[in-house]
A and B are shown apart, each in its own frame.
Chain A
């Protein structure tokens, strides 16, 4: 366990107010309930194709999203439901997209792996490992050029640290001093294989920070206050013109890599250990010990369930995605014409 979670920086929690704490808790609960509902809809065979749930990784998405400015940019991976929703995207539209309905966030053209809601700064879920790191750097370059003060935050898995685009993006971001934060969600497994068995260093992101002249940042990704503090610090650094950061947040997937993966390759004691550090449950307990009334937490829990239920109902009732739209939106004129 110790070797897996590593030595993280001691949490330096300062001045976090009650309102922020409850926001963080509410967001984590909503993300948890949404992903659990997505799982249930799979079991009902209502969701086709594949899906990659972030159950167990909510603290990273919530910690960052709460620390971001409304016009900041989020770039994430195919495990991107949480990051997209955390920016304020509609749950009904997300579920609709998973179900292939006309009300889907991209009206059926994207699917689970590509949730995008530009209006909320969710600039896309990218399904080719590593691709979105240079793209996030590009959004940061644009923010820098436009002097907009925006920051791009790019979330990716541990497996991404072994692909070339990771290194190309980090190098460029440092050389151009771009306002971008790279957040590695180290959930210990690149798909099915333990990350440590295929990586030259113990901590796939943190141990490579020095190669780009960056601070080594290794944090407990299951502690939402640690994540919020890390987010505030790294986003602040980017916004003030001091350049990029590379964060490694240690976490764990509650389930397998994707829909079809029961994750039997993971040792039982490892799973048990990590489940005992569930970010939602542990934070709920911490809030209780800090004096938050059980009724307040219960109300948040109930409201979250209700929100997911309403979204589910809306998505279930929505008509199927429109085949009439197959040949639209290839080009900016709305069409797909390739000849005269």
Chain B
């Protein structure tokens, strides 16, 4: 096991797959010579050369469109969209073209491509560089959606996304880029569509994603000291969604809390809550509770941004209040 930062794990995942498969190419704004604005792709240009690791103009439609055309015709492109907020500038490509073309052609094409993007708040960047947008992608049939919370998952799930024959939106949480964690040595490939139970408790289940996972774990530790034993599930992948693992824990513990960085309406937690209400209603001992950012654009100032996003204190308070 080596200790890597989340950003190093991203680069390691890309490098592992580019070494293995000569049809994997990587393009994006400032990704090659500069190594990415978040330094998550440092060293790739040197390792794989300018044919396979290319800087693009600021042209998100061209970036995603080119990846789609290449994926249709034999390459496995990885693209970087610098901030997930910029997905809005190429959403036609993603939601109308990439997501639908296989279906509309009844399987005449496959689109093995990965769109990596820096997602989420906590960096004081203001409302246009801080959004947590996994839900946009989750709402479109034809896209797989991944959001890792640890360096090991960043590498292993990215490798799995690159090997996947279908389009994957890979959300890297920008406030996690600096965290360190153990990453398995040698080839490391995880499985899409698998949630992970990170902590076992019998009183309730807290389901979280990406940057909310460490907060949920910290909250669970605090609740433990108060005698509330929480299970924490890292969803990891929204599409495919590992409902088997999630519902299993909900049924076992009888309570469900979701911790979502996104604004309130139509968050992924609402989908999980709805599935749990439909499929394990009889096992529930109390209402399902969602903990989210309020339904506002994310403010920039530190105290405002920190208070808007779900905090450890808010998770503890909400769970404690609901369990009382």
Contacts and interface: CB of A to CB of B under 8 A. Distances in A.
Do chains A and B interact in one complex? yes
Interface of A: 73, 75, 106-107, 109-110, 114, 116-119, 123-124, 126, 128, 130-143, 145-146, 150, 152, 164-165, 168-169, 171-172, 175-176, 325, 328-334, 336-340
Nearest to A110: B104
Given A109-B106, A110-B104, A137-B62, A337 B70 contact: no
B165 interface: yes
Contacts of A141: 66, 69-70, 75
25 contacts: A73-B73, A109-B104, A110-B106, A124-B101, A126-B97, A128-B96, A130-B61, A133-B65, A134-B62, A134-B65, A135-B72, A137-B65, A137-B66, A138-B65, A138-B72, A139-B70, A145-B25, A146-B74, A171-B57, A172-B59, A172-B66, A329-B102, A339-B242, A339-B243, A340-B240
A136 B25 contact: no
Contacts of B96: 128, 131
A236 to B, nearest CB: 20
B92 interface: yes
A139 B104 contact: no
A137 B105 contact: no
B245 A134 contact: no
Interface of B: 25, 51, 54, 56-57, 59, 61-75, 77, 92-93, 96-97, 101-110, 112, 141-142, 165-166, 193, 239-245, 275
Nearest to A154: B69
Contacts of B69: 75, 123, 134-142, 152
B263 to A, nearest CB: 23
A245 to B, nearest CB: 17
Contacts of A152: 69
A339 B241 contact: yes
B102 A138 contact: no
Contacts of A124: 101, 105, 109
Nearest to A136: B69
Contacts of B59: 134, 168, 171-172
B86 to A, nearest CB: 13
Contacts of A131: 61, 65, 92-93, 96-97
Contact of B93 (A134, A172, A340): A134
B106 A340 contact: no
Contacts of B193: 340
B239 to A, nearest CB: 5
A312 B324 CA distance: 71
Residue among B51, B93, B104, B166 with max Cβ neighbours from chain A (10 Å): B104
A168 B97 contact: no
A330 B74 CA distance: 19
B66 A330 contact: no
Contacts of B165: 331-333
Given A128-B97, A338-B241, A175 B57 contact: yes
B240 A142 contact: no
A164 B105 contact: no
Interface centre among A114, A126, A175, A340 (most CB of B within 10 A): A340
Q: Closest 6 A-B residue pairs measured CB to CB?
A: A138-B69, A134-B65, A138-B66, A332-B165, A168-B62, A168-B59
Contacts of A168: 57, 59, 61-62, 65
Contacts of B166: 331-332
Contacts of A340: 193, 240-245
B109 A118 contact: yes
A332 B110 contact: yes
B104 A106 contact: yes
Contacts of B240: 337-340
Given A138-B73, A169-B62, 15 more contacts: A118-B109, A124-B105, A131-B61, A135-B65, A137-B66, A150-B73, A165-B61, A165-B62, A168-B59, A172-B56, A172-B66, A332-B107, A332-B112, A334-B107, A340-B244
Contacts of B68: 134-135, 138
Nearest to A336: B141
